[in-house]
Structure 1
Amino acid sequence: MPNFRSILPAELSGNAIQRISKQWALASAQKPDGAANTMTISWGGLGYLWNQPVAFLFVRPQRYTYEFVESADGFSLCFFPEKYRKELQYCGTISGRDEDKIAHCGFTVAHQDGVPYFEEAEAVLICKKIYAQDLTGDCALSELVTNQYPTGDYHRMYVGAIQTVLVRDDA
């Protein structure tokens, strides 16, 4: 079992844009029945909103993970070392409806405050959902946005208050 230590959100090292867009992350949540699911993300954000550190998660309603995030009080964002790139690609292309992709990747699920995360991660954000809103074409101010949704399948945005940041002692 890896040794994680808790740090303040402002102490998380690395560029948030690089972490999300290039390194990617797994977003995970758990239903009340204990079932967990994850998906790879390369869109999102970290910041400060409503006087607290937050993470922004975007999930399309047709994604299997959507029903997990919808029914949970919180979610995790797990960032992995490059050696797990193949597993993150797998979790981004295979649906949890079709198989247990967490088991397939050999990830070890742990929990913090009822939120699942992975022991193989190098950094983990445990977030409590505090806001959710559907993105719509009516609110888009640029084709840069609408071009991302040619079929109108807009994401739902979740704002999560970052409750805990865990980093590996050996990372």
Structure 2
Amino acid sequence: MPDNVIQLIGKEWMLVTAGDESSFNTMTASWGGMGYIWERPSTFIFIRDTRYTYQFLQLHESFTLSFFNEKYRNALRICGTMSGRNTDKVKEAGLTPLETPSGLMSFEEARMIIECKKMFIQELDYANLAEPYKSKIMEEAYKNEPSKHQMFISEIVNIWIKK
């Protein structure tokens, strides 16, 4: 993979998409990473259980992570601020749904698509945050409200790069 993963996810963002051609949802994310676990190339992402996309992640064994050029930054903003529960945010963002050869959903405009198969899901327990991060993270990221993120560790099964 030709990219700096920290820059790619944390600064350029990604779309997490789950479901199939008949029904899917996507959301912008900037929490996650890639590495190697259980002898498999892997991704890890964190999704709040209140997000509409979370329901699709629970129902399907696989999903995609899609990465875009900077000219799609506004599309990623739309997908990160609108809910697919009551809006066709894909249409609003001007993106074109694309079914991968594996039957997963992504977008024609993506420059890179990573297909992921779930291996492990766990709720983050914020009681385990270490100081001095605990207070700061709870205040900055959650505004001291209880909110649950699920961690999804997934095997990378395909990477598609647009030429």
**TM-score with structure 1 length normalisation?**
0.86
Identity %: 39
Partner of 2:89: 101
Q: Secondary structure at the match of 1:23?
A: coil
What's the offset of the Cα at 1:34? 2.7
Q: For each residue in 1:40-92, what CA deviation from the matched residue of structure 2 results, as whole angstroms up to 9, or x when unmatched?
A: 01111111111111111111011111101111111110000000000101110
Name 1:141's counterpart in structure 2.
Answer: 130
Return the match for 1:65 from 53, 56, 64: 53
Q: Secondary structure at the match of 1:58?
A: strand
- Alignment partners' CA distance in 2, 1:160 and 1:34: 23
Quote how far apart the aligned CAs of 1:110 are.
1.7
Q: Secondary structure at the match of 1:161?
A: strand
Which ranges of 4 or more aligned residues in structure 1 deviate by more than 6 Å?
A: none
- The answer for the alignment partner of 1:168 in structure 2 is 162
Q: CA deviation at 1:143?
A: 4.6
Query: Which whole-Å CA distance do the structure 1 matches of 2:51 and 2:132 have between them?
Result: 24
**Match status 1:130 vs 2:119:** yes
Find 2:148's aligned residue among 144, 154, 169: 154
Secondary structure of 2:83 counterpart: coil
Partner Cα separation in structure 2 for residue 83 and residue 142 of structure 1: 39
User: Contact (CA 8 Å) 2:78, 2:92: kept in 1 or not?
Assistant: no
Higher relative contact order by CA 8 Å / sep ≥ 6: 1 or 2? 1
1:114 paired to 2:127: no
Aligned pair count?
A: 157
After superposition, the C-alpha distances for 1:91-115 in whole angstroms (9 at most, x for unaligned) are: 1000001211112222121223232
Residue 74 of structure 2 is matched in structure 1 by 86
How far off is 1:161 after superposition? 0.4
CA RMSD in angstroms comes to 1.5
Give unpaired runs (5+ residues) of structure 1.
Answer: 1-11
